[in-house]
Amino acid sequence: MKHIFKFLFALAVWLPGGAAQAHVGVAKTVPDHDAVMERAPAKIFFQFMAEMTITNLRLEITSDEHKGERIQVRLPRNSIGQSTAFGEQISLELPPLAPATYQVNYQAVSVDGHIMVDDFSFTVAK
């Protein structure tokens, strides 16, 4: 029985689309996760480990009396509505942000179709 589990694990790792290939990942974000900033950032920056397209992004206040309020961040789109936020490095403009704690939820798709969903938080100090 042990041999069957080892075989199935090896098969999952070596087949295209297996577990080893499914995690492209983000190498860095600016602001960094849990960063506390004196001034609000004008942009969000993503450094991925491979070319990705950010297909969805949500910015939400998670503190104070505005908790749960969403801040609109527009993704650049082509004429048919597809996101053009593409590359290993992606920078997105932010609207002016008030002092608060923010959570960024995003979805990105790699060139080979793998979907990554992740989030990070940062705080703009008062």
Residue 58 lies in a domain: yes
Its domain, for residue 112, covers 24-124
User: For residue 24, is pLDDT > 70?
Assistant: no
Residue 28 lies in a domain: yes
Residue 12 lies in a domain: no
User: For residue 35, is pLDDT > 50?
Assistant: yes
Give the mean pLDDT of 20-27.
Answer: 64
Residue 5 lies in a domain: no
Using the CB atoms, write b or e for 33-55: b if 16+ within 10 Å: eeeeeeebeeebebebeeebbbb
Residue 6 lies in a domain: no
Question: CATH number, domain at 33?
Answer: 2.60.40.1220
User: For residue 11, is pLDDT > 80?
Assistant: no
Yes or no: say if 85 and 53 are a contact pair by the CB < 8 Å rule: yes
- H or E element in which residue 14 lies: helix 2-14
Give the mean pLDDT of 106-125.
Answer: 96
Report pLDDT for 15.
43
In this predicted model, what pLDDT tens digit does every residue of 68-105 receive, in sequence order? 999 999 999 999 999 999 999 999 999 999 999 999 99
In this predicted model, what pLDDT tens digit does every residue of 36-67 receive, in sequence order? 999 999 999 999 999 999 999 999 999 989 99
Whether the pTM exceeds 0.85: the reply is: no
- The domain tally of the chain equals 1
